[in-house]
Amino acid sequence: MKQQARAFAEKAHQGQTRKSSNVPYITHPIRVAERLEQAGFSEALVCAGYLHDVVEDTPYEIEDIEETFGAKVAQLVAAHTEDKSKPWQERKQHTIDTVRDACKEVKYLIVADKLDNLLGLEQDLARLGDAVWQHFNAGFDKQKWYNQSIAANMYVGLKANEIPNYFSEFEEAVARVFG
């Protein structure tokens, strides 16, 4: 099923590129899924890693995910999908609330995604400097608030043995990028 999810995501994101570069967008979901797989998570969660941006950024609907990959994968993707019709601040607050209150699998997916985004941002900052902020709906201060809020809320409800190593990687990246 993982190969099917990857192929579905590749087709869905075909022709899309990352924000500040010509890098194919699919590299991001692949890295998210690989991080989840390396952490030893379920096949459903790894599939959700490949598919996490499909509903948000392509013409596909959550029903397409459920029909092809089942209710569990669709539930994980839906929990992480932003409603792009809402303002930036409202969408991001919803994600912060979700990472605080959701089941651990949803937390794992969100943080894996945010870590990969932040590592990409860090590379873009090194390459482009502060001009990189022009590619975002919100500048440095709002991005700082958002990422620090994710870091502050991602541990809520998790036992020490349920925290993957990449959570600390996310905290370290937030500190490097936002001080």
d(CA 151, CA 154): 6
How many structural domains does the chain have?
1
List the domain range (segments joined by +) for residue 24: 2-178
CB 52 within 8 A of CB 109: yes
Q: So what's the pLDDT on residue 89?
A: 94
pTM of the entire structure? 0.96
Average pLDDT, the chain: 95
In order along its 179 residues, the chain shows pLDDT tens digits of: 999 999 999 999 999 998 777 889 999 999 999 999 999 999 999 999 999 999 999 999 999 999 999 999 999 999 999 998 999 999 999 999 999 999 999 999 999 999 999 999 999 899 888 888 888 878 899 999 999 999 999 999 999 999 999 999 999 999 999 98
The residues near 140 (Cβ < 8 Å, ≥ 6 apart) are 130, 133, 178
* Catalytic residue IDs: 56-57
CATH classification at residue 10 = 1.10.3210.10
